[in-house]
Structure 1
């Protein structure tokens, strides 16, 4: 996996969360330029910091690296809501998804 992917994915997920590099850096307990230094390629997070970043972005490491999922947090929210539905409603939801696709 290329470092460039990590930088781009971090930016994509951060923007989906609608948070600035500055705010994310401070929320993670770092200097205001911490995330910017990762995105610019000057630094890479340690494994521990990467896990904190995933937690902050509300994604698992697997979701972070799955580029097919553009908004993992939104997908998780939908799955949580769908898990509370009955079979009939789930069938309707599947039909709606098929129609939208």
Structure 2
């Protein structure tokens, strides 16, 4: 019974994300090359997608597998909108963001060490 509820929860997250992106069910089905009935059954938890189909759904909906499986909105505490924004950045922008994050980590590491006397 618990596994069935997990598929229903995953289906609800697929449906919710699809609607958030303003994608019609028929459009998602077409982009995945499956029938409208099949994506409807996945969204309602009546059918489970194959691994390949699951990964295609993640790609089309621009979400991580852990979001659809577990409902984690944040991948390693990174808000989804930041992750999505990074997808639009050039390689140079990603490198710059990486350097900036390294500076923040270094700064916060020192602050944490000072507060915790390590």
TM-score (normalised: structure 2) = 0.58
In structure 2, C-alpha distance between the alignment counterparts of 1:15 and 1:67, rounded to whole Å: 16
Count of residue pairs the alignment pairs up: 88
Query: Unmatched 5+ residue regions in structure 2?
Result: 105-118
In structure 2, C-alpha distance between the alignment counterparts of 1:55 and 1:77, rounded to whole Å: 12
1:40-59 residue pairs with structure 2 within 5 A?
Answer: 40-59=44-63
In structure 1, C-alpha distance between the alignment counterparts of 2:44 and 2:70, rounded to whole Å: 21
1:11-50 residue pairs with structure 2 within 5 A?
Answer: 11-50=15-54
In structure 2, C-alpha distance between the alignment counterparts of 1:62 and 1:30, rounded to whole Å: 23
Which residue of structure 2 lines up, in the alignment, with residue 65 of structure 1? Answer: 69
From the two aligned structures, give the one with the greater helix fraction: 2
Residue 84 of structure 2: which of 73, 77, 83 is its match? Answer: 77
In structure 1, C-alpha distance between the alignment counterparts of 2:70 and 2:86, rounded to whole Å: 17
Alpha-carbon RMSD across the aligned residues, in angstroms, is 2.8
In structure 1, C-alpha distance between the alignment counterparts of 2:19 and 2:65, rounded to whole Å: 17
In structure 2, C-alpha distance between the alignment counterparts of 1:6 and 1:67, rounded to whole Å: 8
In structure 2, C-alpha distance between the alignment counterparts of 1:22 and 1:32, rounded to whole Å: 6
Larger radius of gyration: 2
**Larger mean Cα displacement after TM superposition, 74-83 or 51-60:** 74-83
